Structure 1
Amino acid sequence: MSATRRQILAAGIVFTGAVSELFAGSASAAALGGHAGYGPLLPDPAGLLDLPAGFSYTVLSRQGDPLRSGEGLVPSNHDGMAAFPGRRGRVHLVRNHENRVTGKIGVPTVEGLTYDPAAKGGCTALELDGRNRVLGERVAVAGTAVNCAGGPTPWNTWLTCEETEDRAGTNGYTKDHGFVFEVDGADPRRTGAVPLTAMGRFQHEAVAVDPRSGIVYETEDAFQHPFGLFYRFLPAKPLGGTGSLRAGGALEAMRVPGVPDLSVIQETGARFEGVEWVPVPDPSAATTPIRLQDFGPRGITHAQKLEGCYWGAGRAGGPGSVYFVSSFARAKDGSGATHFGQVWKYEPHRRRLTLVVVFGPDTDIQLPGESPDNICLTPSGGLMVCEDGDGAQHVYGVNRKGEVYAVARGAQNIGTPDAPEWGEFAGVTFSPDGRTMYVNCYTPGTTFAVTGPWR
């Protein structure tokens, strides 16, 4: 998180820049330009989730309940998530569990689906019918570590990312960690528990796939100096389903000529032509973390706390762009400047990088104040941001005018009556038909399906 809630209320946060850039490629995005939300949030009598009038929720799953497969208990630390279409109108939800080695309910080990039995992270998969009734819930991959975010593929699988670089023998692990794993929510055994080692071993956060080329863009969430890199993976067999990524490929890191640290760029609209991609010397990081490796005399471009990543389709069927988020930067940590969040746009066909949105100190305390994290585009062209910080936790929407409105507020007090606390939101995603928003509360792990008059 970028700051405490108390600091945010004192300083405020505001968007600057071309917020409309975030909605590029959505044919119906203009419909969001005329409203700023769905009205005030109403207290939930059940004390779980506050929503606007006309909206309702269903609890799909809670940590500690039995998995319907009988494989064990629903794991804790619900994080990144995506929804995929199934047969006969069904929906497959694939959900991350950001578990480390101790302290929480781990993902049960299942034969054929477990990478490292000592690791407690992984994914579970839910199957829903057209009315959001749970038909099944099972382990999708186990024995992975710190599964924070990831991203969907054009062939309807989920890429789950380990946000750790721990090696075998560290924290009790029996295998190296820091990889991406592919998960098929409809048939987990088709993908198994195979690390996609060619995609690099580092503190992964999120990925986005170019649906034309099959290139996978990856963010590295490193908040300590030296900071993370922005990567692209060139699969040896593009767009071939699960086999394409397992077939290996080349990993490269982004170099912006003359810019070793993205945090120093503060002017929205700042544009850099001729972006370069440099081969990663050792993607396996056998002896040296990738961000510390020798990229030659011209170096490489770093950024603090790279997190969310998504693909924006081009207008009128044109080439698209990849957007990625720097959640914050702090000069005291070694960044070249301090900011409360940036959103960058990279246009592969132009080799152009543009800073499109900055979050920074100002006066409007109504804006989401705990730095941007994973960003979800809605089917109707909106933008959803999960809040992660101190104080009350919200899911915020943003329209094309940059107006921010609350969609949901967590009501599960995990503190005390005198010192209340609420778990962060994570994994916001929409059903394939756009009628349901799915979202996780990280603690206590709870998955909600929210329905109502979505525009």
Structure 2
Amino acid sequence: MTKTGRSATRRQVLAGTGALGVGIAFSGALSELFTGTAEAQNLGHDGYGPLVPDPKGLLDLPEGFSYRVLSRQGDELRSGEGKVPSNHDGMAAFAGRAGRVHLVRNHENRADGKIPVPAVEGLTYDPAGKGGCTALTLDCRNRVLSERVAIAGTAVNCAGGPTPWGTWLTCEETEDKAGTNGYTKDHGFIFEVDPVDPRRTGAVPLTAMGRFQHEAIAVDPRRGVVYETEDAFEKPFGLFYRFLPERPLGGRGSLRAGGRLQAMRVPGVPDLSTIQDIGAEFDRIEWVDVPDPQAARTPIRFQDFGSRGITHAQKLEGCYWGGRSVYFVSSFAHRSDGSAADHYGQVWRYDPDRRRLTLVIVFGPDTDIQLPGESPDNICLAPSGGLMVCEDGGGAQHVYGVTRRGEVYAVARNRQDIGTPEEPEWGEFAGVTFSPDGDTMYVNCYSPGTTFAVTGPWRR
């Protein structure tokens, strides 16, 4: 989620590869994602209308929409356990009883994190870790009923994903081992968090799922296979993984039983950045066992995967399940960083039934600064039948909607300036998700850490 490696020119626009027109280019493979009403799917490029400046200077929204600030870094947690931690990142919403909603929110704190997740007995993995998750419970009107620590003592909790049995898998985006940055335990794991009662899951690393710079996960709800992205910061770049659990779909705690970790090999494609044509398909995708999932001596992406190698990609970030496929995001690729080719963002679709990988979205440059920049990050499905995309570049930061026709419209703009009068700066958005009934969009501002609940005519 961080902007490590971002270039200085950040106002490129989403467009089809090779096309001069603005917008996002789609292939037909995305049709299964657009499940909203026909009326909602017919939103034009103006979406819900222009953004209205917020007199409070926090969040600009279209007319008819409003927000509630649920939580801000530095405030006191309602549990009394300490202060709300900084660096709000990945998040998911879960249905509760009597219309309640449970939010689980990551905090991407490193060893020098501003406000650490408070250490709580029974929920702390490594006392030296400053990352973790907090959990909020909301009533049917988005009023905060409780806010507490869900897991502590982890590091660089970036994204993750929900499970079919209603828990959150939080991912550490680091490979630091014990003795590095003061840590007393190895880091780079996935942890399971129960949004209702975090003590039922505790602070137990799911070691069989690999130790690497995790970003996000998605679970196949039919097979129980867990797909994982790796956001490695330098070459060789990250891999796309799948985890085959010993107890697939076994419910809370079942992933602790272990399983087999594999990495994706696209025959003849060592670097996904070289593929630029929307709709490009690759059949007979191979999955290769990871030699040492614990990376005891060598990071996984450096390990020997045989004479045919393995497939890498820069900035593998968002990951989610839609229809019968898993989708994952490469936020950007730059030759200057070591990638084989340049791009401003890709979304890939893997169909496990056909063992087929398809490039379904390409983000590209243009000149209209009123439309979104490069570096897509968190992506979620919207009740209007399209996608919501968190922008993670430079300059003004937005949440954008994308219609079925590939038209882009602004949903929200962060107004919290954390820069200087000479060089203004706005924190990225992260963790976009919707309430189970689709009436509220929840989203985080990374810095200053702020969690918003946005209501309005989402199904207009």
What does residue range 70-109 of structure 1 map to in structure 2 within 5 Å?
70-109=80-119
State the alpha-carbon separation in 1 of the partners of residues 367 and 113 from structure 2. 40
Secondary structure of residue in 1 paired with 2:364: strand
State the alpha-carbon separation in 1 of the partners of residues 365 and 34 from structure 2. 30
Tell me, yes or no, if the aligned pair for 1:20 and 1:401 is still in contact at 8 Å.
no
Deviation at 1:26, TM superposition (A): 4.4
The corresponding residue for 1:123 is 133
Deviation at 1:378, TM superposition (A): 1.5
Q: 1:18 aligns with which of 15, 19, 26?
A: 26
The corresponding residue for 2:195 is 185
The corresponding residue for 2:229 is 219
Deviation at 1:370, TM superposition (A): 2.8
The corresponding residue for 2:205 is 195
Tell me, yes or no, if the aligned pair for 1:29 and 1:400 is still in contact at 8 Å.
no
Q: 1:370 aligns with which of 374, 386, 394?
A: 374
| Structure 1 residue 163 corresponds to structure 2 residue 173 | yes
Equivalent residue letter for 2:114: K
Q: 1:323 aligns with which of 312, 320, 327?
A: 327
| Structure 1 residue 393 corresponds to structure 2 residue 423 | no
Tell me, yes or no, if the aligned pair for 1:13 and 1:364 is still in contact at 8 Å.
no
| Structure 1 residue 35 corresponds to structure 2 residue 36 | no
The corresponding residue for 1:275 is 285
| Structure 1 residue 66 corresponds to structure 2 residue 76 | yes
Equivalent residue letter for 2:308: R
Deviation at 1:241, TM superposition (A): 1.0
Q: 2:348 aligns with which of 344, 361, 368?
A: 344
State the alpha-carbon separation in 2 of the partners of residues 25 and 420 from structure 1. 36
Secondary structure of residue in 2 paired with 1:242: coil
Equivalent residue letter for 2:206: L
Secondary structure of residue in 1 paired with 2:15: strand
Secondary structure of residue in 1 paired with 2:305: coil
The corresponding residue for 2:142 is 132
Secondary structure of residue in 2 paired with 1:429: strand
Secondary structure of residue in 1 paired with 2:253: helix
Superposition TM-score, scaled by structure 2 size: 0.94
Deviation at 1:161, TM superposition (A): 0.2
State the alpha-carbon separation in 1 of the partners of residues 14 and 233 from structure 2. 21
State the alpha-carbon separation in 2 of the partners of residues 425 and 25 from structure 1. 22
Tell me, yes or no, if the aligned pair for 2:34 and 2:41 is still in contact at 8 Å.
no
Tell me, yes or no, if the aligned pair for 2:173 and 2:214 is still in contact at 8 Å.
yes
Secondary structure of residue in 2 paired with 1:24: helix
State the alpha-carbon separation in 2 of the partners of residues 330 and 417 from structure 1. 30
State the alpha-carbon separation in 2 of the partners of residues 323 and 167 from structure 1. 30
Superimposed CA distance per residue, residues 356-381 of structure 1 (whole angstroms, 9 cap, x where no aligned partner): 11112234544321311111112342
The corresponding residue for 1:317 is none
After superposing the two structures, state which structure 1 stretch, 40-49 or 164-173, moved more.
Answer: 40-49
State the alpha-carbon separation in 2 of the partners of residues 173 and 18 from structure 1. 44
Tell me, yes or no, if the aligned pair for 1:395 and 1:425 is still in contact at 8 Å.
yes
Equivalent residue letter for 1:435: D
Superimposed CA distance per residue, residues 131-189 of structure 1 (whole angstroms, 9 cap, x where no aligned partner): 00000000000000000000011111100000000000000000000000000110100
Aligned residues: 447
Aligned CA RMSD, in angstroms, stands at: 1.5
Superimposed CA distance per residue, residues 374-427 of structure 1 (whole angstroms, 9 cap, x where no aligned partner): 111123422111112221111111101111111111111112334322111111
Deviation at 1:243, TM superposition (A): 2.6
Deviation at 1:29, TM superposition (A): 5.7
| Structure 1 residue 53 corresponds to structure 2 residue 57 | no
Tell me, yes or no, if the aligned pair for 1:8 and 1:365 is still in contact at 8 Å.
no
Superposition TM-score, scaled by structure 1 size: 0.95
Equivalent residue letter for 1:382: G
After superposing the two structures, state which structure 1 stretch, 276-285 or 409-418, moved more.
Answer: 409-418
Tell me, yes or no, if the aligned pair for 2:13 and 2:372 is still in contact at 8 Å.
no
Equivalent residue letter for 2:349: K
State the alpha-carbon separation in 2 of the partners of residues 426 and 23 from structure 1. 25
The corresponding residue for 1:254 is 264
Tell me, yes or no, if the aligned pair for 1:19 and 1:401 is still in contact at 8 Å.
no
Relative distance call for 1:29 and 1:169 in structure 2 (3 A) is farther
State the alpha-carbon separation in 2 of the partners of residues 300 and 262 from structure 1. 11
Tell me, yes or no, if the aligned pair for 2:188 and 2:214 is still in contact at 8 Å.
yes
Q: 1:148 aligns with which of 138, 158, 168?
A: 158
The corresponding residue for 1:353 is 357
